[in-house]
Amino acid sequence: MPSEDGIICANINIGIVYAYMLDYDNALKSYTKANNLLYVFKDTSGDIAYEQRLKYSTLLNIGDAFEKKMELDSAFFYYNASLRIANSTNDDYKKGLAMLGIANVFAAMNKNEEALIQYKTSLAYLQKMEVEESLCDVSLGMAKLFTKLNKKDSAIYYARSGLFFAKKNRFLSKQLDLSNFLNKYYASTNQVDSAYFYLSTATTLKDSILGDEKVRVAQQILFDENIRQLELIEKAAQEKEERRQQLQHIFIGILIPSLFLFTLLLARIKIQIKWLKFLGVISLLFLFEYLTLLLHPWCRKLPIILRFLKY
């Protein structure tokens, strides 16, 4: 039998793959499925830190998907929820990532001062933890923000700083983003030589990434087929369970009135009262079982609703 946390992690990972393929709608579906499961998940080992890590990762990824879809209010909500978990666990790395997401949302909303505060705080945390991939993202965000604020020297400094980390670690997509930014920046300031240099760099990077793109497309086809097969298996199991429950409902639904009628029939003939009481108790037990089966789906949703309100 699959473990609950295994299913949660699988959905998170599926969402990450969809996000990598820029399919944010399906990514959001997978993240949301993981998040719904987390509302009722309790680690049997009592490892609260493990639960918190799962919750943080899910909320952060949901925020990222909403940000990419430009649904900024939802992105802000989930990034803040992830930041609360990061603060409660005092994890600087998690704080840095959550604040980076919040900074991106503020920047997209043109709340420049708030964005700058979040970027600087995020940068401090990520530099402390030496997370160079995320430092590329912070640097690009700050470069764009300083461009809007007309602080050219700061914009160039952070763009080049981000490009340094991207080249150092061969983060091709981040090199491309930063090279495109520098190309546009120098073109807007009529620095033709610099603009041409970064344009050439971006073109070379595109050619390199296109090779990876062909592999990615093939992987996407295989991934989609695997997901389809898993969904078919899940659907078949769900239908089987629904049929079992329906048969159970029908059986109990027929048995209850049958027992009641049988009890009435016995009451008309001479029989010890203790047997009538026994059959009456059995009828009530079946009635309670029937009500439990009917109310069980709604009872399972109650913890989800209560835990959602906490966020």
The full DSSP string for 159-210 is HHHHHHHHHHTT-HHHHHHHHHHHHHHHHHTT-HHHHHHHHHHHHHHHHHHH
Cα 78–chain centre separation: 9
Rounded to whole angstroms, how far apart are CA atoms 216 and 56? 28
Residue range 154-180: mean pLDDT, rounded? 94
Q: Sort residue 67 into left (φ over 0), alpha (ψ -120 to 50) or beta.
A: alpha
Locate 248 and state its tokens: 């159970």
CB environment 109-139: b (16+ within 10 A), e (fewer): eeeeeebbebbebbbebbeebebbebbbbbb
**Range of weakest confidence among 57-66, 96-105, 123-132, 197-206:** 197-206
Mean of per-residue pLDDT scores for the chain: 83
Q: How many helices (H) and strands (E) does the chain have?
A: 11, 0
pLDDT at 39: 82
H/E stretch holding 228 reads helix 192-267
Segment of 151-155, 203-207, 306-310 carrying the highest mean pLDDT:
151-155
Residue range 167-187: mean pLDDT, rounded? 93
Instruction: Specify the DSSP class assigned to residue 269.
Output: S
Instruction: Specify the DSSP class assigned to residue 151.
Output: -
Residue range 65-83: mean pLDDT, rounded? 97
pLDDT at 97: 97
The pLDDT-based confidence of 291 (bands split at 50, 70, 90) is low
The pLDDT-based confidence of 26 (bands split at 50, 70, 90) is very high
The pLDDT-based confidence of 1 (bands split at 50, 70, 90) is very low
Q: Are 160 and 194 in contact (CB under 8 A)?
A: no
pLDDT at 240: 80
pLDDT at 269: 63
Locate 144 and state its tokens: 């764009």
pLDDT at 225: 64
pLDDT at 76: 97
Helix, strand, or coil here: 21? coil
Q: Are 307 and 43 in contact (CB under 8 A)?
A: no
Which single residue is written with the structure tokens 């059986």?
251
Q: Model confidence over 125-145: pLDDT tens digits?
A: 999 999 999 999 999 999 999
Rounded to whole angstroms, how far apart are CA atoms 217 and 209? 12
In this structure, the number of other CB atoms found within 10 A of the CB of residue 205 comes to: 20
CA angle 25, 61, 15 (to 5 degrees): 50
pLDDT at 60: 97
Flag whether pLDDT at 183 surpasses 90: yes
Rounded to whole angstroms, how far apart are CA atoms 53 and 91? 10
Flag whether pLDDT at 261 surpasses 70: no
Q: Model confidence over 209-248: pLDDT tens digits?
A: 765 555 565 466 566 666 677 677 777 777 787 777 777 6
In this structure, the number of other CB atoms found within 10 A of the CB of residue 246 comes to: 10
Q: Which amino acid is at 17?
A: V
pLDDT at 224: 65
Q: Are 158 and 143 in contact (CB under 8 A)?
A: yes
Flag whether pLDDT at 169 surpasses 80: yes
What stretches of 30-92 adopt beta strand conformation (E)?
Answer: none
Flag whether pLDDT at 255 surpasses 70: no
Does the domain at 4-169 match CATH 3.40.50.300? Answer given as: no
Segment of 166-170, 207-211, 291-295, 306-310 carrying the highest mean pLDDT:
166-170
Q: What percent of the chain has pLDDT over 70?
A: 71
Q: Model confidence over 114-123: pLDDT tens digits?
A: 999 999 999 9
